[in-house]
Amino acid sequence: MIQRIQSVFLLLLALAMLSVVFLPIWSKADPLSGQELLLTATKLTYTKAGPGTSAPIATWPIAALALASAAVAVFEIFQFRNRFRQLQLGLLNLVLIMATIGAGWYYSGVGERLLNVKLAGSFEAGFYLPTLALLLNLLANRFIRRDEQLVRSMDRLR
C-alpha cells in the first residue's frame, strides 16, 4: 500500500524538509556598507565589507527539526498497516514543522538585530518550504483518515 496518494504527499514533505537544510532561509544586506547576513539551517553568517570577519552563529536547531520532520515522514510512509499510528505521527510532524518555522523566525529576528539597518531582510525559499510541508502533511492526514473511514464502512458491510 505504499502507492497510496498520502505516501506521495509524505514523500514530497520529506523532500521539502530535507531541502530546508540546504537552501538559504533568510538574508539581509546593507548596500552602503557592504555588510551581509545569510541564515541557513546550520548557521547565521555575518559578512563585513572590511578585513574583519565575525564567527558564524550556530543555528543547528533548524536543521535538527527539519531532519527530524523528514525522518518522521519517511517512517510514517511505512506504517501503512497501522493508520492510527500514521495519524499520531502526522500530529508529531505537525508540531515539528511548526517548530521549524518558529526557529527560522526566531533566528531571522536575531539576524535583524545584528545588522542595524532600516532595510528589511528577505525570506528565501528555505523559509517557505516548511509551509509547503505543513500543507502536504495536512493533505496526507486527510487521506489517511479517509482510508480509515473506508475500512470501517467495509467492516460494517460484512
**For residue range 96-146, what is the model confidence (pLDDT) as tens digits?**
999 999 999 999 999 888 877 678 889 999 999 999 999 999 999 999 999
Q: Does pLDDT of 24 surpass 60?
A: yes
- The answer to whether 56 and 44 are in contact (CB under 8 A) is yes
Count of structural domains within the chain: 1
**For residue range 60-97, what is the model confidence (pLDDT) as tens digits?**
999 999 999 999 999 999 998 899 999 999 999 999 99
What is the model's pTM?
A: 0.90
Question: What proportions of the chain, in percent to the nearest 5, are helix, strand and coil?
Answer: 65, 10, 25
Domain extent for 103: 5-157
Phi–psi pair at 37, nearest 5 degrees: -125, 140
| Per-residue model confidence (pLDDT) at position 66 | 98
Rounded mean pLDDT of 12-24?
Answer: 97
CATH number of the structural domain spanning residue 42: 1.20.140.150
Q: Which helix (H) or strand (E) holds 30?
A: none
